[in-house]
Structure 1
Amino acid sequence: MIAEYNRLGKHMPPNQFDLSWENFRSIVVPMPSIVDQWRIANFLDAETSRLDQLSRLRLTQLPLLTERGQREKLSQIEGYEPTWLELRRAGARVTTGPFGTALSAAEYVHGAVPVINPTHIKDSRINPSLSETVPPEVAIRLRRHMLRAGDMVVGRKGDIGRSALVNSDQDGWICGSDSIAIHFDQSRLSPAYIAHVLSIDSVREQLLARSVTATMPSLSEGNLLSLRIPYLDMQLQRKLVGKFDTDGEHVTSLSVSMSRQADVLTERRQALITAAVTGQLDVTTARSGVRV
């Protein structure tokens, strides 16, 4: 069908058509009898409904996987009877990114030292923008706001608590004005452990409860330092990080598998429609029901 569109539509790309009404009227389409049209329509209504239901089921299972993982994570932490401490009492320090006259929009260049704001944090990873960077001399001027390997950068506006660890390749990047950097006393706190703790919604909700919500949720250094975390000794923190990492890989694998299944169901739905309306599938003999 797309080939027919392209033949009549000036050979434009498949997602761009410049088709006149006259050309549209001349497109050749399969035209079975009215009885067969109804038979095909009824068959497709039933089969695509089943496929859509399966696809929705796969997609609704994805957040349930995440929710279950969070519950198990918190349960394992609480099994060691942690002491709930404010971050400040666990030896953490924080630094807010530069704002106001400290860094102007005119100082941004392309492809230099990245400035990290919440929009650059996705799935607990930092994904910098090449267009939001500053020259090395500006980065040196802003060294107070530099991120160091082992720090955590946390969103302080909008999506409160969106966070990611800073790895060795990101050492020296700049904490943006809408972010706060957490610096850890690594003799007392494992950054990886805190990263897992902050991935738990019930912990992140503390941040939202403490935020200022005049127009947009906003988090201050004091509010972040008052966040209560389940504190354990370093040996237990490291042990749990290993367990959480392994469990996380399993959940990620399941999530990827479910997403692929949903994609396959979508492709199968389209293939089924194409086969039925073009006569490749005889709906009078096709078995009812869809198996995945």
Structure 2
Amino acid sequence: MRNKELLFEAQTLSTDGSEELLSVSHLTGVGPRSEKNVTMTKAESLDGYRVVEQGDLVINTMWAWMGALGVARHAGIVSPAYGVYRPRPSAPFEPRFFDYLYRSTEYVMEMNRVSRGIWSSRLRIYPEVFLRMAVPMPPLEEQRAIADYLDRETARIDTLIEEQQRLIEMLRERRQAVVHRSVGGLDRIACRPTNDSWWPKLPEGWAPLRLRRVIRGLADGPHFSPNYVDEGVMFLSARNIRVDGWSLDDAKFVSEEDYLEFSKRVVPEPGDVLYTKGGTTGIARVVDLDFPFQVWVHVAVLKVRRDLVDPHFLAYALNSPPCYEQSQLFTRGATNNDLGLTRMVNIVLPVPPLEQQRQIIATLDQQTAKIDTLITESRQFIELARERRSAVITAAVTGQIDVREAA
């Protein structure tokens, strides 16, 4: 069967925009925008937005290739740029089954194949193309049985994922506590009062200094989105930098020419500290990559005064709770977070003598390595669970699982 035999394009528009605004996500499907963490600015007027009824299929035309679609469980309105498809009155349509089907990996891949656009990130699926696509059509009772089975199985997997996510959060809190105790001298007996509210007591010989005092320079990357290429020089953004390691699987690349042009502004080198200043702000990591790369505007490159501070100690200090809290207070913007260069340099951190810094680094490297290993194992479990979830959905909606036997 073709989608056009099951659905028709609904084109009713809101007259006053008073209906509930819905959001379409590749992670959570279709639901009220008010219940989701949406960072994009809301339009001033919602007049002319498309009306959505409960049970309609909603497709984000520009992001369908990554699975931004789903069957609406709430009535409301969506952007006029979205596609809204309503079940034909006589069609056997179980909303839960088709929500699983249309969002399955296999069907999203097929939509990706038939979408049109010059760049992969700009692909669009148009109504006439979507309506010509084939769609499986099991009997209504079987649709319900498959949906019931998938509700149970996905709920079980989601519970396991949530448990691992809570474990990761607990491990991160444990890591922060360990780092705070060491870089703040809280594990030392003799401390003296300071005049700083962030570090009110520090060991003898330690000083609370602003970040500007321990660096010889800082700069961020280009303040625009460059032209990305499939092969070239790695181009890092805030999402590629984590406290416990690099996240380079989705790193982008720029041409050699752009790399040289951006290098006129700053050249990241081993021993520098990268500090996130856009999106997720306040995360520091020492550069230990053995290949050239560049950074976007959301990353600051700190050139460290090594006569005062070891780069690894600086990263630990910046990632400690008091410094992270300062970074959040210095972050501006309701939707586009920005930890400006002129503000971040006012973050106060404790600075021990260099020899004590190195001792602290050695201790923390050993302690955090154990925690980071557990975090990595939990992340791998979550990744495998999500792959299992996707495989179960695809197998069920394509008839590869007899849900009556599996029940």
Which of 71, 74, 93 is 2:217 aligned to? Answer: 93
| Structure 2 Cα separation of the partners of residues 193 and 234 of structure 1 | 9
Deviation string, structure 1 residues 7-39 (Cα, Å, up to 9, x no partner): xxxxxx9966835318949x9xxxxxxxxxxxx
Which of 120, 131, 141 is 2:240 aligned to? Answer: 120
Letter in 1 for 2:214: A
Match of 1:230, SS? strand
| Structure 2 Cα separation of the partners of residues 74 and 260 of structure 1 | 27
User: Where in structure 2 are there 5+ consecutive unaligned residues?
Assistant: 1-103, 108-134, 146-151, 189-202, 393-403
1:4-153 mapped onto 2 (5 Å cutoff): 18-21=136-139, 24=142, 59-77=165-183, 78-79=185-186, 80=188, 81=203, 82-99=206-223, 105-106=226-227, 108-122=228-242, 123-125=244-246, 127=248, 129=250, 131-135=252-256, 137-143=257-263, 144-153=265-274
| Identity, % of aligned positions | 17
CA contact (8 A) 1:115 1:134 kept: no
1:102-251 mapped onto 2 (5 Å cutoff): 105-106=226-227, 108-122=228-242, 123-125=244-246, 127=248, 129=250, 131-135=252-256, 137-143=257-263, 144-170=265-291, 172-251=292-371
Match of 1:212, SS? coil
User: Where in structure 1 are there 5+ consecutive unaligned residues?
Assistant: 1-12, 28-43, 271-276, 280-292
Matched residues, number:
234
Residue 239 and residue 217 in structure 1: after superposition, are their counterparts in 2 closer, same or farther (change >3 A)?
Answer: same
Residue 214 and residue 238 in structure 1: after superposition, are their counterparts in 2 closer, same or farther (change >3 A)?
Answer: same
Superposed displacement of residue 244, structure 1: 0.8
Superposed displacement of residue 205, structure 1: 1.4
| Structure 2 Cα separation of the partners of residues 121 and 14 of structure 1 | 28
Deviation string, structure 1 residues 259-283 (Cα, Å, up to 9, x no partner): 788899999xx9xxxxxx969xxxx
Which structure carries more helix by proportion? 1
Q: CA RMSD in A?
A: 3.9
Residue 94 and residue 126 in structure 1: after superposition, are their counterparts in 2 closer, same or farther (change >3 A)?
Answer: farther
Q: Which has the higher contact order (CA 8 A, sep 6+)?
A: 1
Name the larger-Rg structure. 1
Superposed displacement of residue 258, structure 1: 5.9
Which structure carries more strand by proportion? 2
CA contact (8 A) 1:118 1:159 kept: yes
| Structure 2 Cα separation of the partners of residues 258 and 130 of structure 1 | 22
Residue 203 and residue 22 in structure 1: after superposition, are their counterparts in 2 closer, same or farther (change >3 A)?
Answer: closer
Q: TM-score, normalised by structure 1?
A: 0.65
Match of 2:366, SS? helix
2:73 alignment counterpart: none
Letter in 2 for 1:247: Q
Deviation string, structure 1 residues 81-109 (Cα, Å, up to 9, x no partner): 23211011124421121225xxx634x43
Letter in 2 for 1:96: D
Deviation string, structure 1 residues 225-258 (Cα, Å, up to 9, x no partner): 1111111111111111111111112213344566
| Structure 1 Cα separation of the partners of residues 371 and 272 of structure 2 | 25
CA contact (8 A) 2:236 2:252 kept: no
